[in-house]
Amino acid sequence: MLETIHFQYFLGALVSLLVITNPPSKIPLFVSLTQGMSEERCRQQANWAGIYAAVIMLVSLVGGNVLLAFFGISYGAMRIAGGLVVAAIGYQMLFGGTTPNKAPIVRRDKDDYAFFPIAMPGIAGPGTIAVVIGFSTEIAELTDYVDIVIAFAWTAAAICCTALVNWSVMRYSDIITRRLGPSGTLVLGKLMGFLLICIGVQFVGSGIRTFMAGS
């Protein structure tokens, strides 16, 4: 039973992060920025973007609680705020056609886009960081030290898997683009938006319960 509870952190974080990062939405950004690069150079860009994104999310997971404590922000407040942000992003994806971590337009006047804008904010943008910190606040509320360590490990594993999926999508972006087509990518984005709204509402509900328990 305990192992099942721990695995829920992995499954919950993996689903949430895959939805918020929306790997297929990174295909147009990656293809446009790496246009004209050699195959080897494109592979390097995908490799480093995946690594940078994983590091950003892991730092947010470990340092999120420290940052909240420094500013005196409660876990409930962070969870509610993060849930509202995530739900708003999901609403935009569902009805407005925008992507969760939309990167700014960047001039193609350099040959390295792995960190900015692909990894951040493309993959690990504000929405992604809010989700990661939201999970870190849930883990911090566990009472047993062993449970905390295991939950952090499972969540870190989910982060690594998310970065791996995004890397795979970028690495094989040409093939995926031909398979999905514009319509397939649009439909997938709408589905991700709906799931994101559900995740945001869940975060808000959890934050309200934390507030009520602390009052």
Which pLDDT value is given to residue 77? 82
In a domain, 6, yes or no: no
In a domain, 36, yes or no: no
Task: Tell which residue, 115, 105, 85, 117, has the closest CA to residue 204.
Answer: 85
pLDDT tens for 109-121 read: 567 889 988 998 8
In a domain, 8, yes or no: no
**Number of Cβ within a 10 Å radius of residue 166:** 28
Distance CA 135, CA 133 (A): 5
pLDDT tens for 4-37 read: 667 889 999 999 999 989 898 788 778 778 878 8
Integer-rounded Cα radius of gyration of the chain: 18
In a domain, 25, yes or no: no
Is residue 6 within 8 Å of residue 147, measured between CB atoms?
A: yes
Low-confidence ranges of the chain (pLDDT < 50): 1-2, 105, 107, 215
- pTM of structure: 0.79
Which pLDDT value is given to residue 54? 97
In a domain, 125, yes or no: yes
Compute CA distances 70 → 67, 126, 179, whole Å: 5, 19, 47
Where in the sequence is the domain holding 191, given as residue range(s)? 44-214
What 8-state DSSP symbol labels residue 24? G
In a domain, 20, yes or no: no
Domain count for the chain, please give it. Answer: 1
Which pLDDT value is given to residue 109? 54
In a domain, 205, yes or no: yes
In a domain, 19, yes or no: no
Compute CA distances 198 → 58, 87, 92, 104, 193, whole Å: 24, 7, 13, 26, 9
Which pLDDT value is given to residue 199? 80
